[in-house]
Chains A and B, each alone.
Chain A
């Protein structure tokens, strides 16, 4: 119990909890919205569907560590691509990952880039499960495209949305490898600058394997477990509701 008392007084721990919440709140809705948009667009077109699907899905299967280092090079303040890019539009250079205000958003961008393809894929499967007759019937009734989307597509995609939200939240709660490779260097441990990007798992890892304080790290891990348990229980509650079409 001493560990938990210490934990509740630990500012870095609270910072890590808050950051983890930010990762979840920022990445999950955006990656799902983008995935749905791409899936809807792919549903519309007839040609090259496999090509788009392939490219958009590519980031999901590649190694987090390897691609994170590529992003890190692009974020590099002096020679990186992004400063050059915004320079073309006349904007001042940013410090990206070394800026405590921006760093977390940079990591979120990488996470969204990787997870978007998975959302797209699952949404495509979900869209295929919607019976076409429903749209035909709605068209006869004179419903517009926009109305059909809100009244047919979205409600029927509900199980897919719940599934993606839950898996998205759980994996965002466990963010580790991106933060490790985007912010750690030989001089500084992950989670910098000024602990602005530290997540629960990063904090646990540092306590366990840099400080070798296994008991304290286990307490951090238990907190993570409680978060995930809550999400899973919530999911069961939502999924147990039955939907009437």
Chain B
């Protein structure tokens, strides 16, 4: 009896410490929202709350900047890259896992070895190539490095290996075409991997910065991170904090809402790819 009581006290302490941590971790988000509702004079001296709710930052974002366009760009690019990744990576992964052909193993090792090369090293060749074939400052230019990608192939192959061959052979005996087997039998077996791959691909594209900031030159083509960063450092004379915080809020809050809705799936997906990768 005594022992149980002691454990309970310790549990409360843990909750207290965890709650303190929650406040520290979540504080920047609260600060961001509060600051986006301040008027510019509020930034002349320190103030915790906005002196009055002021939406001029948001008004400025929608009337004077191309923020809406950047948003649309980010969504289009994220959607196309994610879709392409899901289709092509799973097709290649399936082929490498379930078909025996000459050079299959070599191809797999070649694909794997590209995982070691960091994006940072590739951006310069990509840029030089891109200028030669006129890909700079276009959707395709922003997207092409992500359309098919080694990690996704590796992930899909690992999961496709787990599908029993008998299942596929049974379908073959029933006279199903190879493509149909892939679509109707193999893919449904690896749904968790597909959703994990889709989530990390979309997240990665939504937050991508290094390559987009290099390849984009015109205002209209910017994605959200590129837009915020270039607006904050260049476009405005002097830093307009409420506008920047408004942009950050608009970029982050929808992500948080999506995360809250799909919480379990996202967390499991990231843990899954983390552990398998």
Interface residues of A (CB under 8 A from B): 38, 41-42, 44-48, 50, 52-59, 61-67, 69-71, 73-74, 78-81, 83-84, 113, 116-118, 121-122, 124-125, 163, 167, 170, 173-174, 176-177, 180-181, 184-186, 201, 204-205, 208-209, 214, 217-218, 221-222, 224-225, 228-229, 232
**Are A66 and B228 in contact, CB atoms less than 8 angstroms apart?**
yes
In chain B, what residue has the closest Cβ to A159? B275
B99 at the interface (CB under 8 A from A): no
B185 at the interface (CB under 8 A from A): no
Q: List residues of chain B with CB within 8 A of the CB of A71.
A: 28
Q: List residues of chain A with CB within 8 A of the CB of B179.
A: none
Give per-residue flags for B44-69: 1 if the beta carbon is below 8 A from chain A beta carbons, else 0: 11100000000000000000000000
Bound together, the chains give a CA A228 to CA B116 distance in angstroms of: 7
Bound together, the chains give a CA A209 to CA B215 distance in angstroms of: 10
Q: How far is the CB of B250 from chain A (nearest CB, A)?
A: 9
**Are A122 and B271 in contact, CB atoms less than 8 angstroms apart?**
yes
**Are A70 and B229 in contact, CB atoms less than 8 angstroms apart?**
no
Bound together, the chains give a CA A117 to CA B22 distance in angstroms of: 11
Task: List the 8 shortest-distance A-B pairs measured between CB atoms, nearest first.
Answer: A66-B248, A65-B225, A221-B121, A70-B32, A177-B209, A63-B207, A125-B271, A66-B251
Q: List residues of chain B with CB within 8 A of the CB of A83.
A: 46
With A44-B14, A66-B251, A71-B28 already in contact, the answer to whether A186 and B118 are too (CB < 8 A) is: no
**Are A186 and B271 in contact, CB atoms less than 8 angstroms apart?**
no
Bound together, the chains give a CA A214 to CA B28 distance in angstroms of: 38
Q: Which of A63, A78, A121, A205 lies in contact with B255, CB distance below 8 A?
A: A63
B182 at the interface (CB under 8 A from A): no
With A201-B120, A225-B117 already in contact, the answer to whether A41 and B248 are too (CB < 8 A) is: no
With A79-B43, A81-B31 already in contact, the answer to whether A41 and B14 are too (CB < 8 A) is: yes
16 further A-B pairs in the complex, CB-CB below 8 A; given A66-B248, A176-B120: A53-B267, A58-B25, A62-B252, A62-B256, A63-B225, A65-B228, A66-B224, A69-B248, A70-B248, A79-B43, A80-B46, A116-B25, A121-B274, A180-B209, A181-B233, A214-B128
Q: Which of B209, B241, B259 lies in contact with A64, CB distance below 8 A?
A: B209
Give per-residue flags for B178-189: 1 if the beta carbon is below 8 A from chain A beta carbons, else 0: 000000000000
Bound together, the chains give a CA A113 to CA B21 distance in angstroms of: 11
In chain B, what residue has the closest Cβ to A87? B46
**Are B209 and A65 in contact, CB atoms less than 8 angstroms apart?**
yes
With A57-B267, A79-B46 already in contact, the answer to whether A73 and B31 are too (CB < 8 A) is: yes
B245 at the interface (CB under 8 A from A): yes
Bound together, the chains give a CA A71 to CA B244 distance in angstroms of: 12
**Are B252 and A66 in contact, CB atoms less than 8 angstroms apart?**
yes
Provide a sorted-by-A list of 28 A–B residue pairs whose CB atoms are within 8 angstroms: A41-B14, A45-B18, A48-B15, A52-B21, A52-B22, A59-B28, A63-B206, A63-B228, A63-B248, A64-B225, A67-B28, A67-B32, A67-B252, A73-B31, A79-B44, A118-B270, A122-B271, A122-B275, A125-B275, A173-B118, A181-B229, A201-B120, A205-B214, A209-B127, A209-B214, A214-B124, A221-B120, A224-B120
Give per-residue flags for B119-141: 1 if the beta carbon is below 8 A from chain A beta carbons, else 0: 11101100110000000000000
Q: How far is the CB of B78 from chain A (nearest CB, A)?
A: 12
B11 at the interface (CB under 8 A from A): yes
Interface residues of B (CB under 8 A from A): 11, 14-15, 17-18, 21-22, 25-26, 28-29, 31-32, 35, 43-46, 116-121, 123-124, 127-128, 203, 206-207, 209-210, 214, 224-225, 228-229, 232-234, 239, 241, 244-245, 247-248, 251-252, 255-256, 259-260, 263, 266-267, 270-271, 274-275
Q: List residues of chain A with CB within 8 A of the CB of B128.
A: 214
Bound together, the chains give a CA A176 to CA B225 distance in angstroms of: 13
Most buried by B among A42, A53, A57: A57
In chain B, what residue has the closest Cβ to A126? B275
Bound together, the chains give a CA A67 to CA B29 distance in angstroms of: 8
**Are A58 and B29 in contact, CB atoms less than 8 angstroms apart?**
yes
Bound together, the chains give a CA A79 to CA B162 distance in angstroms of: 57
